[in-house]
Amino acid sequence: MNLFALATLYDTLIAPFADHDVMRRALAATFALSFSAAPIGVFLMLRRMSLIGDALSHAILPGVAIGFLLAGMSVLAMAGGGLVAGFLITIGAGLIARATTLREDASLAAFFLISLALGVTIVSLKGSNEDLAHFLFGSVLTIQNTALLLIAGIASVSLLALALIWRPLVLECVDPGFLRSVSRSGGTAHIAFLALTVLNLVGGFLVLGTLLAVGIMMLPAFIARFWARDVTGMIAVAVGSAAISGYAGLVLAYQASLPAGPAIILVAGLLYVLSVAAGPVGGLLWLLLPRRHLEA
């Protein structure tokens, strides 16, 4: 390879991060998020709760908006507000599902529709359309040190908590009846897991906004389903593809002057399409190839 090509490669893939503090911070934030949000996404998918993440990500908006109303563009106030709103709505939806015939997904859907409307209304009380876009789609390239520390904290807490509840969580997914017959930890694991989901959506909000936060959580999980057969493998693939999407998305955004958040999710979307088409575990391509069945 000649020197010129090497220099071009450096300019394309590394220089954006070497030259710009903003890009480095964005990369660190997306990597941290990849390590915690992607495993959560895998469990959401395995528990058939893929759309719950979507619903919850909207649900945090009014909390964020109230934080913004009270303290302006303060990361801590907005994240705190989002966290409180997320927890309240998770608990509220759970209580309504338990007390009435409405199922948990239905009552969550009701909450998130109300939350979204409420959130947008509150933001427009004080802010501009630009602020609203900032909330909905994030602003990866304006991440400050406070937000970066917060995201790193969320990622650390999530990984630790996930390790602690791993066994009951897996068992709760695969055979809840058995877990109930030997232990009471199923309920605790479920609540802890929902709390982690909210926590990571708030982390995701700081990077990608409420609408796109769920993308870095769920798309890598769906990608992983086409590459691995066991939970551990799926989580490895999900983390890897989230990190690749983060990096490639930032490079793409820098080189083509695209908005960074959507670029990250678009790269993840591209990986998803490739996985559906050619993933070794149940990809479409393998259905089309005529392969003889095995002897035993």
Partner 1 sequence: MTSSAVTALRFHDLTLGYDRHPAVHHLDGVVEQGALTAVVGPNGAGKSTLFKAIVGALKPLAGSIERSGFAARDIAYLPQAAEIDRSFPINVYDMVAMGLWRRKGPFGGIDRKDHAAIEAGLAAVGLTGFEQRSIGTLSGGQMQRMLFARLLVQDSRVIVLDEPFSAIDGKTVADLMHLVRRWHWERRTVLAATHDIELVRAYFPQVLLLAREPVAWGATREVLTAENLDRARRMCEAFDEAAEACASEAA
Binding site for partner 1 (CB under 8 A): 46, 164-168, 170-171, 173-183, 185, 228-231, 234
Q: Please state the closest distance from residue 276 (CB atom) to partner 1, in A.
A: 17
Q: Please state the closest distance from residue 182 (CB atom) to partner 1, in A.
A: 5
Cβ proximity to partner 1: between 110 and 192 the closer is: 192
Q: Please state the closest distance from residue 105 (CB atom) to partner 1, in A.
A: 16
Question: Which two tokens mark 282?
Answer: 């149940």
Find, among 115, 100, 103, the residue nearest to 48 by Cα.
Answer: 103
CB atoms near residue 31 (< 10 Å): 17
Cα dihedral across residues 68, 200, 211, 216: positive or negative: positive
Cβ proximity to partner 1: between 75 and 173 the closer is: 173
Q: Please state the closest distance from residue 97 (CB atom) to partner 1, in A.
A: 18
Q: Where are the alpha helices (DSSP H) in 100-184?
A: 104-126, 129-137, 145-174, 176-182
Q: Please state the closest distance from residue 221 (CB atom) to partner 1, in A.
A: 12
Q: How far apart are CA 63 and CA 222, in angstroms?
A: 29
Q: How far apart are CA 254 and CA 231, in angstroms?
A: 34
Q: Please state the closest distance from residue 280 (CB atom) to partner 1, in A.
A: 14
Question: Which two tokens mark 181?
Answer: 């017959």
Cβ proximity to partner 1: between 24 and 47 the closer is: 47
SS3 state at 191: helix
What CA dihedral angle connects 216, 144, 134 and 126, to 10 degrees?
Answer: 140
Cβ proximity to partner 1: between 1 and 293 the closer is: 293
Cβ proximity to partner 1: between 52 and 231 the closer is: 231
SS3 state at 281: coil
Cβ proximity to partner 1: between 129 and 181 the closer is: 181
Q: Please state the closest distance from residue 53 (CB atom) to partner 1, in A.
A: 18
Q: Please state the closest distance from residue 170 (CB atom) to partner 1, in A.
A: 7
Do residues 38 and 264 touch, judged by C-beta distance below 8 A? Answer: no
Cβ proximity to partner 1: between 158 and 210 the closer is: 158
Do residues 262 and 138 touch, judged by C-beta distance below 8 A? Answer: no
Find, among 16, 36, 30, 53, the residue nearest to 244 by Cα.
Answer: 30
Cβ proximity to partner 1: between 120 and 170 the closer is: 170
Question: Which two tokens mark 43?
Answer: 């469990």
